[in-house]
Amino acid sequence: MQTPIKIGISSCLLGELVRYDGAHKRNAYIQATLGEYFEFVSFCPELSAGLGVPRPPIHLVRYEQGIRVQTTKGEVKDYTDAISQVIEQIKPQLPQLSGYILKKDSPSCGMERVKVYDADYLYQRPPEKTGIGLFAAALKQQYPHLPLEEEGRLGDPHLRENFIQRIYVYHRWQQLVAQGLKANDLVQFHSDHKYLIMAHNQDELRQLGRLVAQAGNHTNLHELCEQYIERLMQVLQQIATRGQQANTLSHIMGYLREHLDAEDKTELVEMIQRYQQGYVPLIVPITLLKHHFRRHPVPYIDRQYYLNPYPGELMLLNQV
């Protein structure tokens, strides 16, 4: 049976009334669409750190000694330690998560560009948007492989596709690790993701291949696997350009060279070009390739996640 894919999420995005003002920030796409594919594990760092609802709003405030998270109106209350340590409460569940969706702009959950106020000029200077929420920072530091994304960024089709792709790659990796990953499994995993990695960075594909080549005789397979997944998850964060995708599609098309007549080849080449020029989305050349591979199966290509990165019903390739 397929293990459910668990995704951590800021509670307010699921409609839970946990915000400082007693409201929520339900995100319909996350709840209705992604909710069909993922099992959400919701967590509100501020609530779990003992801040009630409603509560005075808190902000990131820069002091000479570092950034604190505090209330800025009335009596100043400092929650830096409480929120930094709250990750301990969700820690037992974190290894089972394959991704995490965070609420943007929050001094606890925001992943980037969170407002930071200068302690000496609280109301005289506008805040800089350079901060990261304390919980998000702890998550990043302790689980560097875990795919993270902010709900606001999921509105961008490329970032959304990239995030979902990383979740599925990471989930497949977690399943292998849970079964007791052997050297052969690492080799097969890398092979099955070859074209997916190529689309992100051809040079990194070669570097990762060199790592994998050591699997059979490496004295510490666990260490090698850690290096591999860390590097892979970093590479996959790079958004694949149309040029890189077209190059990958052309490589895959090479496996059909013997089987297609001139007309089919021309049509495929033209479709890849039309995709590269931005006239059609990625799903178009991929669908055409899959059509030809159904008629002329190639087991190696059949295993490539590039052509089937996640359930097609998510329709993410229709928008990139």
Choose between 22 and 216: whose C-beta lies nearer to ligand SF4. 22
* Burial readout 224-262 (b: 16 or more C-beta within 10 A, e: otherwise): bbeebbeebbebbeeebeeebbbbbbeebbebbeeebee
Q: Determine, following the binding rule CB under 6 A, whether residue 45 of this chain makes contact with ligand SF4.
A: yes
Q: Is 34 helix (H, G, I), strand (E, B) or coil?
A: helix
In total, the chain counts a number of residues equal to 320
Stretch that binds ligand SF4, among 100-108, 176-184, 188-196, 201-209 (CB under 6 A): 100-108
Which position among 7, 30, 44, 146 is part of the footprint of ligand SF4 (CB under 6 A)? 44
19 contacts ligand SF4 (rule: CB under 6 A): yes
- Sheet strands (E) in 18-113: 38-43, 58-63, 66-71, 97-102
Q: In the structure encoding, which two tokens stand for residue 162, read together?
A: 């990239």
Stretch that binds ligand SF4, among 65-73, 102-110, 223-231, 283-291 (CB under 6 A): 102-110
Residue type, 261: D
- Of residues 194-233, which lie at the interface with ligand SF4 (CB under 6 A)? none
Return the structure tokens found at 24: 């929520």
Of 6, 8, 11, 114, which lies in the binding site for ligand SF4, with binding defined by CB under 6 A?
11
CB 31 within 8 Å of CB 15: yes
Return the residue of 5, 8, 46, 304 that touches ligand SF4, per CB under 6 A: 46
Residue 51 C-beta: closest distance to ligand SF4, Å: 8
Out of 70, 71, 98, 106, the only residue in the binding site for ligand SF4 (CB under 6 A) is 106
Taking the complex as a whole, the smallest distance from the CB of residue 59 to ligand SF4 amounts, in Å, to 12
For every residue of 263-317, DSSP letters joined together read HHHHHHHHHHHHHHTTSS-THHHHHHHHHHHHHS--HHHHT-TTT-SS-GGG--T
Would you count residue 10 as binding ligand SF4 (CB under 6 A)? yes
Beta carbon nearer to ligand SF4, 49 or 252: 49
Binding footprint of ligand SF4 on the chain (CB under 6 A): 10-12, 18-19, 44-47, 103, 106, 108-109
